[in-house]
Structure formats: structure tokens, C-alpha cells
Structure 1
Amino acid sequence: MRKWMVLLTLSLSMFIIVIDTTVMNVSISALVVDLNTSVTGIQAAISLYALVMASFILIGGKLADVIGKKRTFVLGLAIFGVGTAMASISTSLMMLIIGWSVIEGIGSALMMPNIQTILREAYEDKDRATAYGVISAVGAVGAAMGPIVGGFLTTYYSWRWAFRLEVAIVIVVLVCCRYISTELRQGSRPKFDFIGAALSIFGWSTIVMAVLLGQSYGFWVAKQPFVIGSMELAPLGLSVVPFVFLTGVTLIFVLFSWTAGRDEQGGVAIFRPSVFRTAGLKAGIAVRFIQMAVMAAFLFTMPLLLQLSFEFTAMETGLALIPFSLALLVSALGGARLSAQFSARLIIQTGFLLAIAGLILIAITVSPDAEPSDMATGVVFGAGVGLIASQILNLVLSSVAPDQTAEVSGLNGTFEQLGNSIGVALVGTIMLGTLTTGLQDRVMAYPDLEAEAKVEITQALQNSVELVSSSQLAEAMQDAGASVDQSAVILKAYGEERTQSFKIGVWFLVFLSLLGLIVTRSLPNRKLV
């Protein structure tokens, strides 16, 4: 029994990390009301959480080399607890971002890579395969239970209780950490690559911030000037976004150049680019990136669709996602058992095919006349994602030598969270952009408006459109003094364009999944057991 206490400790840690974001997704509408913010604001908080994790995961892996895996894990757990406690008492979006997105994100980043490396060192052979299967299953259970737990607490109590329960679990895990062995240090303490760490943080942060800024400022042509103090930036009528993105790419290029130079000289680097020479590693990390982008975007999009189009409560949203959640759980557990019969590549490819089929069914089903039960087609998507999740982590980590596990785990975690962050940011931007363009086109086609009025309205819509429910829009129209006939026309137009924006968002996920399927061709064709 004592042997499996390490697995229990790590599983509880994985559970609270995974359930955290899924709880947020079904609580979006409640958060918007309680914190007096918008869907766009909560989207930014969710993306920022994943961004902070992506920026600090490499640091979490390398810090373990300096102070030890157990100490780094416990430090991350404590930071996570502080951030969770702060999130539970948030009174504004900014307070939520500081507590949840930043502090909790840093804690998660210190924990994640060390969960995987401690697990690898604690078990061998069949026990290790079992442990990886359990961790994958726990991740699936967290993803499955998150919408239900979050929906129940948000509807009948408060979304704050989800964070309070996480604090309680953190305390239990801290007590259980005594079962994790403290590694004995041999030789002098390794140095830390502060320059590489800084380049990693600012590089990845800048790239994701560019995606988030594109929503407000345009991805190429400036929707509005970027204001710093009294200075407005819109060079040659262009948005600041491509310049911000180019800055991020440049910093990442410098990061790879810096680490390659340190690696060649035998110095300490935040990671060694030479690990990418391992067969299939680049493809494995790319597949994980795409899988997480699709998964995160789906879990952001579907609760919004259910709550805004069907006016579901958080609890009803969680219940509606049960078919998807159960399919994900069963598929993740079943996929681990298939490892002895089939190659990981074949299982992952099958997963992508199922995910694509499920998303196409959802895209076809979404319409203004759709029923909530139509969203049960998410079961096919869930089964596909579960199959991918059951294989990809083990495939990535088993492709390198034991002494490279911590490093590759950190890299894998970085791209995992980048996928999370970019997936949510992109799908949110696409949906809002589609909604804005659709409403502008309707205004321009409206016969009873003069040309000057059409231009004024379309310009006003450019930066003021938000995703809201029909009841919220009706209330706003009433407050604005609109007539019954005017409200009816606007509500019908908005509802149709909102549905179209969700449909386009799902088709974007189909495209990403097809891209993932293509990348799987470069994965090694071998069994994991």
C-alpha cells in the first residue's frame, strides 16, 4: 500500500490542476455577473493562466535540478494553494487574474513537470505503465468531473466553493508529500540559467499576448490605435499585433540560439535543443500541442454555446457535457489497455479521426433551431480525445533517455499549456470576429437605414460587440428604450449571427484536428508496452 501512496499524492495534485480550468469554463456566465466583467475578460484570464504555466514550466523542470524535485513540487503546491485561496475571495477580474491566472499558474508550472519525473523515478516496468495509465485516467476524470462539480457548486452555492475545495485538497496533498522520497544530492549544486528563463518567459508571453491583442486591435490592419500614455501607435495604419508577435518570435529564436550555444559549451541551459534530435520527439510534442489547443478551445466554446444560446445554468451545462466527459474517461482508460495490442501512432490517429468526426457532427448540428440534446454528439469527440490522451504523454517521455526525462517533460508541458492558451485565444477571437462581421453585414444590408447611419453603426460595432445571451441583450435593449419591433429584429439577427460564430469556431477546431492527424505520420510506429 505504501508503494502506491506516491501515486495517490501525485494523482490528487494532477486532479486539482486539471479540474481547475474545467470548473472555470462552466462558470463563465456567473463570473461575468459576479465580477462585473465580460466573456472577453474571462477568456483573457483563462488564456493568461495557461500562458503563465507555459512560461514557467521549463523553470519548474530546471529548478528541480537545483533544489530537488520534491522541494520544487512542494513549493509549487504551496504557491498553488495561496493562489487558489486568493481566487476564492476575488471581488474583481484583476484580483482573479492575479490569484488564479498568475499565482496559481506559477504554482501549477512548478508542480506539473515534477509530477511526471517523480512518477517515472518511483516506478519501473509494469508498475510505471500502470502509474502513467492512472495519471492519464485522473486527468480524464478531472476533465470529466470539472463541468459537473463546477456546475453544481456554481448553480447551488458559488463558483468560489470550487476554489475552497481545492485549498482543502492542497492541504491533504501537502501532508501526503512525506511519502515522496527526497533525492540525495551528489556533487555540487547545479547552476540556474537565468537568461534562458527570462527569454522563455518573455518570448512565449509575447506570442500569446499578440493573439489576445488581435481581438481588440486587429491582426494586420489596425481596428483602433494602441495607446501608451498619450501616444497612439498604429504605424502606417497597421495593428501593433504583428510587431508584438514578431518580437515574441525573435525572443524565442534568441532563446534557442542561447541554449544551443550553452549546450555546445557544456554550460547550464534552461533546456538543450539537442533533445529535439530524438526520433519522433518533435512530432510528439506538436501532436500534444494541437490536442490541447483543440481540447481547451472545445471546453471554452461548448459551455458558452449552452449558456448563451440555450440559457443553461452552470449545473445544466455540466450535465449536458456528461456524454462527452464519460466518453473521454472510458476512452482514456481503454486506450491505455490497447497499448499492448496496437502501436501508439495507430491509436492516436484513430483518436484524431474520431475527434474530427465528432466535431463535424457538432458543426452540422449547431443551428438556431438546435436542441440541447443535439450536443450529445460530443461523445464522439470525447472518445477521440481520450484515445489521444491515453498514449501521447507516455510516447513523448519514453522516447528519451532517463536523464532527459525532466527536460523533455518541461518542454512537453510548455507546449501543452501554449496549446491551451493559444487554442482559447484563437477560438475566442474567431467567434467574436465572426459575430462582429456578421452584424456589420446585416446593418449594411438593412434597407431602412441611411448610408451615413450604416457607417456610424458599423464603426460602433467594430470594438463593442460581446458574446451575450438573448435575455441579456433584450434587457439592454429595454434599458436603451428600443421598441418591441426593434428589439425583435435585433434579437433575431444577433441570435443567428451568434450561432454562426459558434459554428465557425467548431469548423476551426476541425481544421486544427486535421492538422494534428497529418503530424501523426511523423510519430514512431511502436507499441508502448
Structure 2
Amino acid sequence: MRTDGRTGLVLLASCLAQFMVVLDVSVVNVALPAMRTALGFDAEGLAWVVNAYTLAFAGFLLLGGRAADYFGRRRMFLVGLGLFGFASLVGGLANDPALLLAARAAQGLGGAVLSPASLVILQTTYAEGAARAKAFGWWSAMGGVGGAAGGLAGGVLVGLLSWRWIFLVNVPVVALTVLLTLAVVRETRAEQRPGLDVAGAVLVTAGLVALVYGVVSLESSPWTSARVLGSMAGAVVLLTAFLVVQRRSRHPLVPLWVFRIRAVSTANVVILLITSAMFSMWFFVSLHMQGVLGFDALTAGLAFLPQSASVVVGSQISSRLVSRLGARAMIVAGATLTAAGFAWFSLLTPTTSWAAGILGPGIAVSLGMGIVFPAVTTAATSGVDGGLAGLVSGLVTTSRQIGGAVGLSVLSTLAAAHTATLTAEGAPAPVASTSGTTAAFTVAAVVVAIAALVALLVPAPQRAGTPEPARV
């Protein structure tokens, strides 16, 4: 199918949706201090502003893709847009922490429907070949730009308007995308409708929420408390039930046998570990710049610009070199650079300036992450049967969101506990806060270093005529 005016508008609608979905993962970070002041969030609740979105997004992403095939890609794309836009409006008008968290979870659910539907719409609009590859390239780039631009966009909106506009700005963009979709996107369905594993999606999401809640509860409750033990026990039961359902289901959300492919299992472990540290950078650096260095939201947003640019540069480097050097080499190099950046971050002090203590390590972490992400997707899907490519790509995206949510919960709990201990001992607030942040960054450096070691297990590139990917 040649690229014409209609297909160009379809591409625009899909890219707008993907940009919004990914942007809303990171755009809230700069606005967190303002939200805490306006709505009275405590440190535990503040982390859930990020986690409520990422958990709902990760838990229902694969189900969202199946629903698009089952009910129709255009229809589910519009449903996702409607839910995302309405939740954004509610979040922007919320005057209560619980309502804001509910809106964030609804946004994540809408994103879980939007993201896979937008990609399949492009697949059915563009014929296989150069035109489709170019469309996929734009779609992927919008995701990267959305994630990288979150800090800058959040800072500008909070600084010039208010924190509410990081949500309200989605409403006109959603309206425009709905109009484009109604005008140019045609309805398609899968030739063979897949089953919908609703039970699997609910179980895995509930299990992850219980796990994260148990970890976050450690900030105010001991390990032996009923609150923590109950949450952890609930997580084990729910996630075990999820595995049982997947094993017995005729249409499992995640066919467990796919993890016997070594490339798939190692790539997902790597992305879980790296994103568990990655999300913490935006979170902690934003709070440090505003809480310790005294930056306002606009200045903090502008201070994220080098990191945003570094993610894009790293992605371009990886995309150009991965075919020559192999995914394994790029993942190891990117993870090593990211680990070094986190180790550098761990040297922060309350008096370290932005230029001396944040600019350099921020660029190192962001550049490394930009190098890792395209290479991980390539590693996971390289040599995999074409019918599995969509499933494997969805698994990588899901692991990315799960790793971010769980990692942020663990590291924010660790930082808060360390800060509270020093505060109780009489340390000044900037010293206690910075020490908690550097403790989290030290752990993040170790975790990413482990990811670099795991990446050594990624299979070497397959040559024509070689057997299928290694299985474990």
C-alpha cells in the first residue's frame, strides 16, 4: 500500500497515541513536589502516583493487544482513547490523593489498550516493506521521545501553569486523535479471534499491586507486621494462581514455554533489572533538584533536557550499530555505562551543584539506557518465529513497566527509611535526604551491573541456516 494522505494521517493518529502513553510514565516526576504540597501526599503515596500508572499499564498490556484483535483494532483504539482522556481530565481536576491515584490507574489501563492497538493499526494500514518499516520507525521514535521529554514537558507545564496541566493537556490531544481516527482509520479484526485471558490479566495485576504495596509498606511497618506479611502472602498466592492459569488455559496471556527460548528469557531479565533502576533516576533526581538544590519546576524540567537528548542519541547509536556489533555487545556496553552513571550519582552531596553532580551522571545513565532498549528488543525477537514476534515484543514492554514499578517501590522505600533514620539522629534535612538518595543510587548501580553480567548470556546473532534460538 503506497503512502498517501490517508495513511499519513493514520500514522499521525497512532504516533500521537503512543507519545501520550509513554509521556505519562515520566511527565509526573517533576510535578511530584507540587502534588505533595497541593494534595497532602506522604512519601509512600507519592511513589504510587508513578506506580499506579505503570502497574495498570504493565498488567493489562498483553490483554489489551488480544482485545484489539478480538473486538476490532479501531474500536479498541477509540475505547482506549476515551478512557485515557477521561482519566486525564479526572486527574487534572482531582482534589483528593485517592481520586488522583484512581485516575492514574485508569490512565494506565487506557494506555494498555491504546499502545498495542496503535501498532496493529499501522501494521494493517501499511503493506509489508519499506513503507511499513518507516511507519514503525516513527512509532518507535515517538515512544522514545515521549519517555525522554517527560521531565522537560512536566517542568514547563508546572512552571508556567500548574501541576494539573500535565494531565489536562492530554484532553485536547485525545480529542484531536479521536477525530483523526474516526475520519481515516478503518476497522480490522484478526482472521482467527484469540481467546481473552481476562483472569490471567486480573491475577497478574493484582499480584503485582500486592507485591508493590508490601514493599512500600516497609517504610512505615516492620517486616513482621500483618500489613507487610499479608501483602507479601497475597502477592505469592495471586502470582502463583496466575502461573497455574497460564499453564492450563487454552489461550494463555503469556504462554510459559516461550521463556524456554534463551534469548527471550535473558532479554526480559535484563530489562527487568535495568528498568528497576532507571525509573528511580527521574524520580530521585527530580526530588533532589527541587527539594535540596531549590530548583523550581520549570528549571528542573529544563535541567532534564540533556538526559532527554541522551536517550534519543543512545537509541540512534544502538539502532545503527546493533546489526554490525550484535545485540549482546550493545546491551553489555549500554548497561555498563548506565551502572557507571549510577555509581557516579552515588557521590552526590547536599552542596554538589547540578553541573558537577547531576549533569554528567545523568547523561551517562540516559545514554546507556538509550543504547540498551533497542538492543534488548532486537535480542528478544531475533531468530524468533514471526508468529511470536508480537508476543515477545509485548513481553519486553511488560517487563519494562513491571521492573520500573517494583524497582521504584523498593528503592524509594530504601531511601525513605535511610532518610528517616538520619533525621531521627538529628541530621539536617538536606543531608538526610541526599544520603537516602545516594543509598538508592548505590543499589541501582549494583543491580544494573548484574544486568550487564546477565546480558553476557544473550545468544550470539543467528546466521542463515542455523538452528532455532537456544532454549534453557
TM-score, with structure 2 as normaliser: 0.89
Give, in whole Å, the separation in 2 of the partners of 1:416 and 1:169.
25
Of 159, 162, 168, 1:164 maps to 168
1:208-247 map, 5 Å: 208-218=212-222, 220-222=223-225, 234=226, 240-247=227-234
The match for 2:406 is 422
Whether the aligned pair in 1 keeps the contact of 2:334 and 2:372 (CA below 8 Å) is: yes
Of 375, 380, 383, 1:396 maps to 380
Give, in whole Å, the separation in 1 of the partners of 2:49 and 2:384.
34
Give, in whole Å, the separation in 1 of the partners of 2:69 and 2:248.
20
Whether the aligned pair in 2 keeps the contact of 1:427 and 1:505 (CA below 8 Å) is: yes
Of 447, 454, 472, 1:512 maps to 447
The match for 1:65 is 69
What one-letter code is carried by the residue in structure 1 that aligns with 2:233?
L
Compute the displacement of 1:127 (Å).
4.5
Superposition RMSD in Å: 2.4
The match for 1:182 is 187
Give, in whole Å, the separation in 1 of the partners of 2:444 and 2:437.
11
The match for 1:259 is 246
Whether the aligned pair in 1 keeps the contact of 2:326 and 2:461 (CA below 8 Å) is: yes
% identical aligned pairs: 26
What one-letter code is carried by the residue in structure 2 that aligns with 1:144?
A
Structure 1 pair 89–169 and aligned structure 2 pair: CA distance change class (3 A)? same
The match for 1:349 is 332
SS of the aligned residue for 2:270 comes to: helix
The match for 2:350 is 368
Whether the aligned pair in 1 keeps the contact of 2:313 and 2:370 (CA below 8 Å) is: yes
Q: Deviations over 1:140-182 (max 9, x none)?
A: 3223322122111211211222322211111222233354443
1:113-132 map, 5 Å: 113-120=116-123, 122=126, 124-132=128-136
Whether the aligned pair in 2 keeps the contact of 1:344 and 1:528 (CA below 8 Å) is: no
What one-letter code is carried by the residue in structure 1 that aligns with 2:414?
I
Give, in whole Å, the separation in 2 of the partners of 1:524 and 1:94.
45
Whether the aligned pair in 1 keeps the contact of 2:70 and 2:190 (CA below 8 Å) is: no
The match for 1:483 is none
Of 29, 43, 48, 2:47 maps to 43
Structure 1 pair 392–5 and aligned structure 2 pair: CA distance change class (3 A)? farther
The match for 1:147 is 151
Whether the aligned pair in 1 keeps the contact of 2:28 and 2:166 (CA below 8 Å) is: no
Unaligned runs of 5+ in 1: 223-233, 235-239, 444-491
1:19 aligns with 2:1: no
Unaligned runs of 5+ in 2: 465-472
Give, in whole Å, the separation in 2 of the partners of 1:345 and 1:4.
35
The match for 1:524 is 459
SS of the aligned residue for 1:26 comes to: coil
Give, in whole Å, the separation in 2 of the partners of 1:528 and 1:138.
31
What one-letter code is carried by the residue in structure 1 that aligns with 2:94?
S
Q: Deviations over 1:310-367 (max 9, x none)?
A: 1111111111112211111111123212233221111111111111122222222x01
The match for 2:141 is 137
Q: Deviating runs (4+, > 6 A) in structure 1?
A: none
SS of the aligned residue for 1:270 comes to: coil
What one-letter code is carried by the residue in structure 2 that aligns with 1:260?
R
Give, in whole Å, the separation in 1 of the partners of 2:421 and 2:9.
54
What one-letter code is carried by the residue in structure 2 that aligns with 1:412?
V
The match for 1:384 is 368
The match for 2:235 is 248
Whether the aligned pair in 1 keeps the contact of 2:327 and 2:378 (CA below 8 Å) is: no
What one-letter code is carried by the residue in structure 1 that aligns with 2:174?
V
Give, in whole Å, the separation in 1 of the partners of 2:86 and 2:51.
20
TM-score, with structure 1 as normaliser: 0.80
1:433 aligns with 2:438: no
What one-letter code is carried by the residue in structure 2 that aligns with 1:369?
T
Whether the aligned pair in 1 keeps the contact of 2:293 and 2:350 (CA below 8 Å) is: no
The match for 1:82 is 86
1:407-486 map, 5 Å: 407-440=391-424, 442=425
Give, in whole Å, the separation in 2 of the partners of 1:64 and 1:277.
27
Structure 1 pair 123–359 and aligned structure 2 pair: CA distance change class (3 A)? farther
Whether the aligned pair in 1 keeps the contact of 2:219 and 2:413 (CA below 8 Å) is: yes
Compute the displacement of 1:67 (Å).
0.9
1:334 aligns with 2:339: no
Give, in whole Å, the separation in 1 of the partners of 2:48 and 2:401.
14
Structure 1 pair 42–206 and aligned structure 2 pair: CA distance change class (3 A)? same
Give, in whole Å, the separation in 1 of the partners of 2:318 and 2:386.
24
The match for 1:293 is 276
Structure 1 pair 215–123 and aligned structure 2 pair: CA distance change class (3 A)? farther
Give, in whole Å, the separation in 2 of the partners of 1:507 and 1:379.
17
Of 105, 108, 123, 1:105 maps to 108
What one-letter code is carried by the residue in structure 1 that aligns with 2:327?
A
Which has the larger Rg? 1
Whether the aligned pair in 1 keeps the contact of 2:311 and 2:366 (CA below 8 Å) is: yes
Give, in whole Å, the separation in 2 of the partners of 1:86 and 1:243.
31
Give, in whole Å, the separation in 2 of the partners of 1:417 and 1:493.
35
Whether the aligned pair in 1 keeps the contact of 2:153 and 2:301 (CA below 8 Å) is: yes
Number of aligned positions between the proteins: 456
Give, in whole Å, the separation in 2 of the partners of 1:118 and 1:342.
32
Give, in whole Å, the separation in 1 of the partners of 2:336 and 2:136.
24
Compute the displacement of 1:94 (Å).
1.5
Structure 1 pair 335–133 and aligned structure 2 pair: CA distance change class (3 A)? farther
The match for 1:225 is none
SS of the aligned residue for 2:28 comes to: helix
Structure 1 pair 201–327 and aligned structure 2 pair: CA distance change class (3 A)? closer
Whether the aligned pair in 1 keeps the contact of 2:92 and 2:165 (CA below 8 Å) is: yes
What one-letter code is carried by the residue in structure 1 that aligns with 2:285?
M
Compute the displacement of 1:4 (Å).
4.4
Compute the displacement of 1:119 (Å).
4.4
